[in-house]
């Protein structure tokens, strides 16, 4: 929904800027999604001011030019060369200053090219501005001479103020379905009234009079459930034509195109007060009757868009004596609307049942400004006021007289909602105790009256236009949104009744997420037995922390103990598939391992733990003409492990060599001094136990410990605006020095600027000497606050090289 800043100012005093008003509205729950400046004319006459011609003489070298000095409110008058025949000393004129961009009007109807005013010399005379005609500033098409003003405004006053063409601002509000009460400028101003504690200025209808009753129609409502209130009047002797500029500007400011003065008034009042109206050509109403009723199923009806629709038996229609004229609250008919020949109208203002309008609008697929409001619930007390307001506007811009009494059929008035509100619940739900006087000020400002007051409670009398305030919690929400969420102290200890408890980590859900991740990366899930061979546990006995759990009555000696690792289950699965010519495999498994621990008191404690294992064997991908197959390598497994860690937001890990009993080479990732995952190439001694000849890469996660990492908080940072810089070093080191040592030492040395360290080449050769290797390492540097200078980069790299030489014995090769 769009509202106009200047239009809002008609209802309430707003010295605040549009941006400040936007913040206030968002704070009350009317979330502002954007604010756009709307110029009354292109360019908004920016840089165009009122000036006074002080002197005017003929140009010595041009008969049709004059040399003038013009006071524009600056320290010195401006010299301006003017070619208009009517320029003279003492005139108040419109002056475009140097730098202003003018958008001239075109007599042909096609937009003229804008141009900028610059300092110039015309026939040798300096000119520092331009005295303007009306076409040159886009306010007309006349170019007969400059505009001469009759005004006492001081020199230098912006021309936009003189012409009342100051810019408006379109405020886009993301209106939620429950806040239909705010779907107008009046409704929006009501929230500002409450939050700013300022009075509203309502349009006066005191001038409304009935001139005569010469065009009185017989108005009847047959379906009172669908139309609880229906009002109308007639206006005769009007002239349909173009709307005045002020009305067109109001509609354009909220994105509506003007049509004619009658339709524009109905649209204006709809967005002004939130009450949809409809104007019928009274001469097209047969029989002098207006009947609100349903018609037979399948009755054809042509709407304003020229489409014939088949009506249902539940569609509420506005009919005359012989035919339907309008789908009530939704869309008008083609043959009853206002045209340029219309001189008499019947003006309708009603309250229709939201259910009826919603059902009809949904069935016919029609969404209009009227149906948007009616189907959510308009104010049943607004129709007559809006009707008189519209009648006065129509008379002011289209002429005519009111030629009937106001018909108002409202046999069963809709009563306000009565809601019992207890102060203790206000305190409990908001979290603090708000002064009782402030509570009632807020409610009164929102037109919610307090009845049956006592020290503990009161009855809130809610006007029927607030269709969303029907419960005690709704009334409390009204208090809170006007009091302001920002006014609630952050230290408030809200009870569990106010905030839902965050759910605990669900292992099954995380297991499903990891499974999906692995499957998406080409891994197959396996499920294997928890029983295993005793020889398997014996082969890795040095790595086990407890004794085997043995079966009391095993089916065979081969399956007589519970497994203490998932490794051999994975190896046997790989062997089974390889024997069936499936040689390129990636598997994962969630499974439990078991052991028993001897306690200090001599008792035995049985332990079972959930683990996650990954295994890879064969080639990275199947054989293809497009790409040569490459065998699986350690970095392929490390990449898969890293994807799991990324899923759990594990960022900071330390590494150490993996256990040599299990791995020929590999790493163990440490988090908070506890092993999280071990990965590497499985030791050939273990693969031989299952008769597996291919090299196998394997990773083993502590699943319970991994789940604990889900509590890690996510931290967001702004994308750096300044470029990063890369510098490379070649380090000759002892073979015992690992890249992890280089990486750790680099980050310890430079914590602010160093973003990443990467090794892109490793070399070993006789020319380096025995026991030596060369690392080619890249360092990425970046300062989030400024562009790095060469001096800063050089100083940082020198510090890193010094530390590598001192702590790692590195030789730097340039």
**Which residue ranges are tagged as binding site for Mg(2+)?**
468, 474, 477-478
Would you state the structure tokens that stand for residue 283, as one six-digit string?
Answer: 């001469």
Q: Are 427 and 433 in contact (CB under 8 A)?
A: yes
Beta bridge partners of residue 768, listed in sequence order: none
Q: What are phi and psi of 241, to 5 degrees?
A: -165, -160
Cβ neighbours of residue 302 closer than 8 Å, sequence gap 6 or more = 308, 309, 333, 334, 335
Burial class (CB in 10 A: 0-12, 13-18, 19+), 90: exposed
CB 305 within 8 A of CB 195: no
d(CA 130, CA 119): 10
- For residues 575 and 510, the answer to whether their CB atoms sit within 8 Å is no
| Dist CA 131 CA 65 (whole Å) | 12
Give the Cα separation of 218 and 216 in Å (integer).
Answer: 7
Check: CB of residue 674 under 8 Å from CB of residue 656.
no
* CA–CA distance, 645 with 653 (Å, rounded to integer): 10
Q: How many residues does the chain have?
A: 814
What is the DSSP secondary-structure string of 247-299?
A: HHHHHHHTTPPP--HHHHHHHHHHHHHS--EEEEEGGG-GGGEEEEEE--TT-
Q: Which residue has the tokens 């501005």?
A: 129
CA distances from 537 to 181, 435, 459, 551, 704 (A): 73, 72, 75, 14, 22
Spatial separation of the C-alpha atoms in residues 426 and 233, rounded to whole Å? 46
Q: Which whole-number Å values give the CA distances from 511 to 265, 447, 507, 589, 649, in the listed order?
A: 63, 54, 6, 10, 15
Which residue from 465, 471, 388 is spatially nearest to 422, judged by alpha carbons? Answer: 471
CA dist 638 and 616 (Å) reads 11
Give DSSP secondary structure letters for 302-330. Answer: EBTTS-EEEPPTT-EEEE-SSSEEEETTT
Tokens linked to 449:
């009256």
Number of CB atoms found within 10 A of residue 161's CB: 13
- What is d(CA 306, CA 315) in angstroms, rounded to the nearest whole number? 19
Longest dimension (CA), the chain: 125
Q: Which residues contact 156 (CB under 8 A, 6 or more apart)?
A: 49, 50, 51, 72, 73, 74
Instruction: Compute the radius of gyration of the chain from its Cα atoms.
Output: 41
Among residues 533, 512, 487, 489, which one has the least CA distance to residue 590? 512
Q: Which residues are annotated as a binding site?
A: 468, 474, 477-478
Q: CA-CA distance, 27 to 23, in Å (whole number)?
A: 6
Nearby residues of 265 by Cβ (< 8 Å), 6 or more positions away = 243, 247, 390, 393, 394, 397, 398
């Amino acid at each position: 929904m769009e509202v106009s800043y200047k239009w809002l100012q008609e209802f309430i005093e707003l010295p605040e800027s549009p941006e400040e008003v936007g913040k206030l509205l968002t704070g009350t729950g009317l979330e502002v999604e954007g604010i756009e400046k709307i110029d009354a004319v292109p360019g908004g006459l920016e840089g165009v001011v009122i000036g006074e011609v002080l002197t005017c003489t003929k140009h010595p070298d041009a008969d049709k030019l004059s040399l003038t000095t013009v006071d524009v409110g600056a320290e010195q008058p401006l010299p301006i060369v003017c070619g208009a025949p009517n320029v003279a000393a003492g005139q108040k004129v419109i002056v475009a200053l140097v730098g202003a961009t003018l958008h001239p009007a075109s007599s042909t109807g096609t937009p003229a090219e804008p141009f900028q005013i610059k300092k110039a010399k015309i026939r040798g005379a300096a000119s520092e501005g331009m005295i303007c005609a009306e076409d040159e500033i886009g306010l007309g098409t006349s170019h007969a001479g400059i505009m001469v003003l009759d005004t006492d405004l001081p020199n230098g006053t912006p021309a936009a103020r003189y012409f009342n063409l100051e810019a408006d601002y379109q405020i886009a509000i993301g209106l939620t379905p429950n806040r239909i009460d705010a779907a107008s400028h009046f409704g929006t101003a009501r929230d500002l009234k409450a939050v700013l504690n300022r009075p509203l200025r309502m349009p006066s209808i005191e001038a409304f009079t009935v001139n005569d009753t010469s065009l009185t129609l017989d108005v009847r409502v047959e379906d009172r459930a669908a139309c609880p209130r229906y009002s109308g009047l007639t206006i005769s002797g009007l002239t349909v034509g173009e709307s005045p500029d002020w009305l067109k500007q109001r509609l354009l400011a909220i994105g509506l195109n003007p049509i004619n003065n009658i339709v524009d008034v109905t649209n204006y009042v709809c967005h002004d007060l939130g009450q949809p109206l409809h104007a019928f050509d009274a001469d097209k109403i047969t029989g002098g009757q207006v009947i609100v009723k349903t018609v037979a199923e399948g009755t054809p009806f042509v709407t304003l868009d020229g489409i014939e629709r088949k009506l249902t038996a539940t569609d509420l229609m506005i009919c005359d004596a012989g035919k339907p004229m309008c789908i009530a609250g939704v869309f008008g008919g083609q043959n009853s609307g206002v045209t340029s020949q219309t001189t008499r109208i019947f003006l309708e203002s009603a309250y229709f049942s939201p259910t009826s309008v919603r059902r009809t609008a949904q069935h016919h697929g029609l969404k209009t400004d009227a149906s948007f409001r009616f189907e959510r619930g308009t104010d049943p007390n607004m129709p007559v006021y809006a009707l008189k307001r519209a009648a006065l506007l129509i008379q002011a811009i289209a002429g005519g007289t009111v030629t009937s009494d106001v018909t108002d059929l409202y046999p069963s008035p809709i009563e306000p909602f009565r809601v019992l509100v207890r102060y203790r619940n206000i305190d409990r739900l908001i979290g603090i105790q708000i002064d009782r006087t402030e509570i009632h000020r807020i409610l009164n400002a929102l037109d919610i009256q307090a009845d049956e007051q006592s020290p503990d409670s009161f009855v809130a009398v809610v006007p029927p236009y607030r269709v969303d305030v029907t419960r005690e919690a709704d009334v409390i929400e009204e208090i809170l949104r006007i009091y302001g969420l920002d006014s609630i102290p952050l230290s408030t200890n809200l009870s569990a009744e106010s905030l839902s408890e965050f759910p605990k980590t669900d292992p099954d859900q995380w297991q499903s997420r990891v499974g999906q991740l692995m499957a998406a990366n080409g891994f197959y899930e396996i499920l294997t037995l928890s029983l295993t061979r005793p020889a398997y546990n014996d082969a890795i006995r040095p790595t086990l922390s407890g004794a085997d759990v043995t079966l009391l009555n095993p089916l065979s000696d081969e399956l007589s103990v519970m497994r203490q690792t998932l490794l051999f289950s994975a190896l046997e699965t790989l062997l089974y598939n390889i024997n069936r010519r499936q040689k390129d495999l990636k598997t994962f498994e969630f499974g439990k391992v078991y052991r028993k621990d001897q306690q200090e008191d001599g008792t035995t404690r049985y332990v079972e733990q959930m683990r996650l294992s990954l295994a890879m064997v064969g080639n990275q991908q199947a054989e293809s003409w497009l790409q040569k197959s490459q065998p699986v390598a350690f970095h392929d497994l490390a990449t898969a492990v890293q994807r799991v860690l990324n899923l759990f937001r594990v960022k900071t890990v330390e590494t150490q060599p993996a256990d040599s009993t299990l791995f020929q080479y590999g790493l163990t990732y440490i988090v908070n001094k506890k092993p999280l995952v071990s990965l590497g190439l499985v030791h050939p001694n273990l693969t031989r136990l299952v008769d597996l000849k291919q090299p196998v890469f394997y990773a083993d996660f502590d699943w319970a410990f991994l789940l604990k990492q889900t509590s890690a908080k996510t931290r967001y940072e702004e994308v750096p605006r300044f470029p990063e810089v890369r510098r490379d070093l070649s380090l000759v080191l002892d073979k015992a020095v690992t890249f992890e040592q280089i990486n750790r030492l680099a980050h310890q040395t430079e914590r602010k600027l160093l973003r990443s360290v990467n090794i892109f080449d490793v070399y070993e050769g006789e020319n380096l000497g025995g026991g030596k290797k060369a690392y080619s390492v890249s360092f990425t540097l970046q300062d989030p606050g400024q562009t790095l200078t060469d001096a800063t980069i050089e100083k940082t790299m020198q510090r890193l090289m010094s530390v590598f030489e001192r702590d790692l014995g590195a030789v730097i090769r340039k």
